[in-house]
Amino acid sequence: MSQCIKTLVQDGLVFAVQEDQGGIRSSRITLENDQIYMHCLQDQPPPPHAHTLQVSEVLGAVDPSSTLVYLDLAWGGSTRGRVHIRLSPNTPAARQFVLLCTGQTGVSYRNTKLHRVGRKGEPGECVWGGDYEGKGGEGGAEITGISRGKYRQSGRAGAVWWDWWYYSAAKAAQFAIITRDCKSGGGFPSVFGEVVSGLEVVRAAANHSDIAQVTVVDCGIVLNQ
């Protein structure tokens, strides 16, 4: 990154923009801890005098074989931390996850609630989220025509998966994050990502008194991966 662009990013003056039938949407590009983030698109134009780049141009530079996205979790009136997830390449669920982190299709995980903790306090504990329709776990329709594809199985804490055993197009944007290792020999199918930092934040959310109070306050993609 040139020093000129770096200064603009540090000053909050670089935005990615996308124009569709609903008008111009924009996304902040920020530099934090030497990582460049494109935040989720918002239904508003960039501020005056901002330096703008097309979303397609920005994302076109991201290596699709090593996509790193993030979710910011908050509860109790404050943001508790950032969760970075490395997505598996060439899986339909991973491609859909990117779209829902960036908001390119008009919907996103931003401002969604986590809605369930499975096997709480036991091996294989999972936190569920992704219902961007706000139906308390009954929504989160697919946006890409997701199919089963080729996935791996894992029982390790940090694995991100979707439950094709109970596949429903009405819920196919939902996801689960394993927060406690499964028992030896156990695991979940359809794993499409791995938490690379921030697992402690997800575990704290699982231990919160009411998981439905945990909100994804921001999400997006890391550009320099």
Contact 113, 215 (CB under 8 A): yes
Instruction: Write down the pTM of the prediction.
Output: 0.95
The chain-wide mean pLDDT, for the chain, equals 92
Stronger pLDDT, 49 or 70, i.e. the higher one:
70
What are the tens digits of pLDDT across the range 111-153?
999 999 999 999 999 999 999 999 999 999 999 877 667 889 9
- For residues 179 and 196, state if they share a domain: yes
- For residues 102 and 174, state if they share a domain: yes
Which residue, of 33, 59, 85, is where some domain finishes?
59
Number of domain units in the chain: 2
At 6 the pLDDT is 79
At 2 the pLDDT is 67
- For residues 184 and 86, state if they share a domain: yes
Question: With 80 as the cut, is the pLDDT of residue 218 above it?
Answer: yes
pLDDT band at 65 (very low <50, low <70, confident <90, very high): confident
At 169 the pLDDT is 86
Q: What is the mean pLDDT of residues 171-194?
A: 94
- For residues 109 and 32, state if they share a domain: no
- For residues 93 and 127, state if they share a domain: yes
- For residues 44 and 76, state if they share a domain: no
Question: With 70 as the cut, is the pLDDT of residue 1 above it?
Answer: no
| Domain ranges, residue 46 | 3-59
Instruction: Give me 58's structure tokens.
Output: 């920005």
CB-count burial class (<10 Å; 0-12, 13-18, 19+) for 33: exposed
| Among 3-7, 14-18, 31-35, the least confident range | 3-7
What's the full length of the chain, in residues? 225
Task: Characterize 183-217 residue by residue with b for buried, 16 or more Cβ atoms within 10 angstroms of its Cβ, and e for exposed.
Answer: eeeebbebbbbbbeebbebbbebbebeebeebbbb
Question: With 60 as the cut, is the pLDDT of residue 70 above it?
Answer: yes
CA distance 72 to 191: 21
Q: What is the CATH number of the domain that holds 96?
A: 2.40.100.10
Question: With 70 as the cut, is the pLDDT of residue 167 above it?
Answer: no
